[in-house]
Amino acid sequence: MKDFLMVGLGGFLGSIARYGVYIFTARFYPDKTYSGTLVVNLIGCLLIGLLSGGAIKLSNQTTLFLIAGLCGGFTTFSAFALDGLKLIREGLILQFVMYASVSMIGGLIVCLAGFYLTYKA
């Protein structure tokens, strides 16, 4: 149960941070709705890379709080990037290409499907 609370607390804080970045970037780029997402994704990828690089030894609960919770609440793109990096480091290049392709193209397709299933003309 404590593990769930650690992930939940980290996710709560990560989501608040994501919203803060969106608000901040909208001040500078009000006509670029994607700018907040881009900034969040890049920051999240840097953060999850720093946390998973091994230079800092983290306890299991700290890992759950920071990586699964905070980074996961901030951006799931960071988890996607970390999974991709793991595949590349293991030499599983074909699996990485498949994973990345299905994630991006499949994600767009199901997003489009969901949009049209609920779109009201």
Element (DSSP H or E) covering residue 51 = helix 35-52
Query: 12 lies in a domain?
Result: yes
pTM: 0.76
The parent domain of residue 8 ranges over 2-75
Query: 115 lies in a domain?
Result: no
d(Cα 49, Cα 54) in Å, to the nearest integer? 9
Is the pLDDT score of 121 beyond 70? no
Rounded average pLDDT over 88-102: 95
> Which has more confidence, 53 or 25?
25
Query: 82 lies in a domain?
Result: no
Residues above pLDDT 90, as percent of the chain = 63
Which range of 32-41, 92-101, 105-114 scores highest in mean pLDDT? It is 92-101
The confidence score (pLDDT) of residue 9 equals: 97
Q: What residue type is 34 in one-letter code? A: Y
d(Cα 13, Cα 116) in Å, to the nearest integer? 32
* Closest of 40, 32, 38 to residue 15, by C-alpha: 40
Number of domains in the chain: 1
